[in-house]
Structure 1
Amino acid sequence: MPRRREGRLVDLEVDILGAGIELQAEHDDFYGFALAKRIADRAGATALTAHGTLYKALSRLAERGLVESEWEDPGIAAEAGRPRRRLYRVTGAGVAACRAETEQRSLLAPSPRSAFA
């Protein structure tokens, strides 16, 4: 597992925030399975992110104030005939952190030309 640089986000956290921002644009909030599926679809992966890893990362992001969550209304889940979901939202700080990390990474990425110079 990559080491965390002080104050920086690891790849999975950036993926979570980016996918969460996309899902939030389509809906007001999102839940873990939808998030894992979106990450897998974005990355072209063949398997979903391990749920233990995903929820630990969501917990870290919540501790940093980058996502917030609440339990779904029990009536909605009962109507759908399924257990309640924990619903997440990327905060304004999460959007800013994702953008900053993405910009930082693009600045640090080697240009294709310099790789062969």
Structure 2
Amino acid sequence: MPRRREGRLVDLEVDILGAGIELQADGGDFYGFALAKRIADRSGASALTAHGTLYKALGRLAERGLVESEWEDPAIAAAEGRPRRRLYRVTGAGVAACRTETEQRTAPAPSPRSAFA
């Protein structure tokens, strides 16, 4: 696993925030399995992100205030005959962090010549 640079997000965390922002735009709060599917769709991966990996990363993002979560209303889950889901949403700070990380990662590398100019 890549080492975390102080204050920076690892690739999976950036993927989670980006996919979460897309899911929110499509219909509000999102849940873990939908998030894993969106990440796989975005990256072209054939496998979903492992359950433990995804939820640990969501926990780290929540600790930093980049995502929020709450349990779904039990009546909704019961009406659909399934267990309750934990619903997530990316916060404003999460949107900003995702944007910053994406910009930093896609910025062109400085030319080696400029280092000696």
**Same fold (TM > 0.5):** yes
Matched, 1:25 2:31: no
Matched residue type, 2:13: E
1:75-114, aligned counterparts within 5 Å?
A: 75-108=75-108
Query: What SS does the corresponding residue of 1:15 show, helix, strand or coil?
Result: helix
Using the size of structure 1 for normalisation, the TM-score is 0.92
RMSD: 1.3
Instruction: Sort the Cα spacing of 1:43 and 1:110 in 2 relative to 1 into closer, same or farther, 3 A.
Output: farther
Kindly state the Cα deviation for residue 43 of structure 1 after the two structures are TM-superposed.
0.4
Q: Distance in 2 between matches of 1:60 and 1:92?
A: 16
Q: Distance in 1 between matches of 2:27 and 2:33?
A: 14
1:60-75, aligned counterparts within 5 Å?
A: 60-75=60-75
Q: Sequence identity, in percent?
A: 88
Instruction: Indicate the structure (1 or 2) with the bigger Cα radius of gyration.
Output: 2
Kindly state the Cα deviation for residue 27 of structure 1 after the two structures are TM-superposed.
1.1
Q: Distance in 1 between matches of 2:86 and 2:72?
A: 6
Matched residue type, 1:77: A
Using the size of structure 2 for normalisation, the TM-score is 0.92
Query: Which residue of 2 is the match for residue 6 of structure 1?
Result: 6
Q: How many residues align?
A: 111
Query: What SS does the corresponding residue of 2:48 show, helix, strand or coil?
Result: coil
Matched residue type, 1:107: A
Kindly state the Cα deviation for residue 107 of structure 1 after the two structures are TM-superposed.
1.3
* More deviation, 43-52/101-110: 101-110
Q: Distance in 2 between matches of 1:96 and 1:42?
A: 20
Q: After TM superposition, which residue ranges in structure 1, 4 or more long, deviate above 4 angstroms?
A: 108-111
